[in-house]
Structure 1
Amino acid sequence: MIAATAKPGEMMTAATEMVEIYANEAGAVFQCDRRNRLMLYFAGALNVLKVDTFLRLKQAVASIDLEQMAANPSRSSDYEIVAVCGCERCFILSLTELYALRDLLEGAKFSLELNRMLHECLTPLEA
């Protein structure tokens, strides 16, 4: 089992079945083929997500209007609470954390989609 406080590089040595999908300065997303899960390392915590939960989290973060949040002078707009079904963690994120998480999730989704399309193109069709 991987400790929740492990760094992304340490996770790769601890579990060789994990492949890094995408990383930025805020964290990383890994794919575990053995368990058919995505591992989100963000804000010092490791979150194990099913693919559908990952997609729900990406959609929830993408639906937040960051421009409106930045323009709103009220203190209540300084943080956003993000919780999705299937994820054990409730994220309480500032504007900069939301931006970093959005980049991380969008980059991982793009990499997964690109990998799927390449696999389809390179795999010969069976008759």
Structure 2
Amino acid sequence: MICPLANFEEVYKTAHGAVYQCSRQNCYWLEFAGSTTAFKVGDFLDFKKKIDAIDISAMIIDSSRTADFTIVMPFRTPRCFVLTINDVLNLRELLDGAKFMITLNSMVQACMKGTPSRVA
């Protein structure tokens, strides 16, 4: 359930989902596959590493029925992700874009702190 007092800012969005940042709760919200999941900052980055570590090639090559999907259970969330190959690729795209925007924002903030303001 999303807190009614939360202050959300969109970090990154694709046709398959979105990532939002909540300044009030200091967390990220992942909207994917019809549901929303909250992550603490560190847990979000760990979840991205888990998704990046999924071996898509092995899933494609393996002819067994169980290779058609993978199950990922993020740390400290009540959600379980059952992902097909397409889901993994779509989720990677979303998480990669979000991570890039988070890193870019941090770099911009660092540059702004290091640049003295000029008053005319």
Map 1:87-102; keep pairs closer than 5 Å.
87-102=77-92
Identity %: 38
Is 1:124 matched with 2:107? Answer: no
Larger Cα Rg: Structure 1 or Structure 2?
Answer: 2
> How much does 1:124 deviate?
3.3
TM-score, normalization by structure 1: 0.83
TM superposition shift of 1:2: 3.7
Q: CA RMSD in A?
A: 2.0
Segments of 5+ residues of structure 2 without an aligned counterpart are: none
Runs of 4 or more off by more than 6 Å in structure 1?
A: none
* Equivalent in the alignment of 1:57: 47
The answer for the alignment partner of 2:18 in structure 1 is 28
Q: 1:82 aligns with which of 60, 72, 75?
A: 72
Q: Secondary structure at the match of 1:84?
A: coil
Deviation string, structure 1 residues 9-38 (Cα, Å, up to 9, x no partner):
xxxxx7772110011111000000011010
Conserved 8 A contact 2:8-2:20: yes
Q: Distance in 2 between matches of 1:65 and 1:86?
A: 24
Q: Which runs of 5+ in 1 are unaligned?
A: 4-13
Partner SS, residue 35 of structure 1: coil
For normalisation by structure 2, the TM-score amounts to 0.88
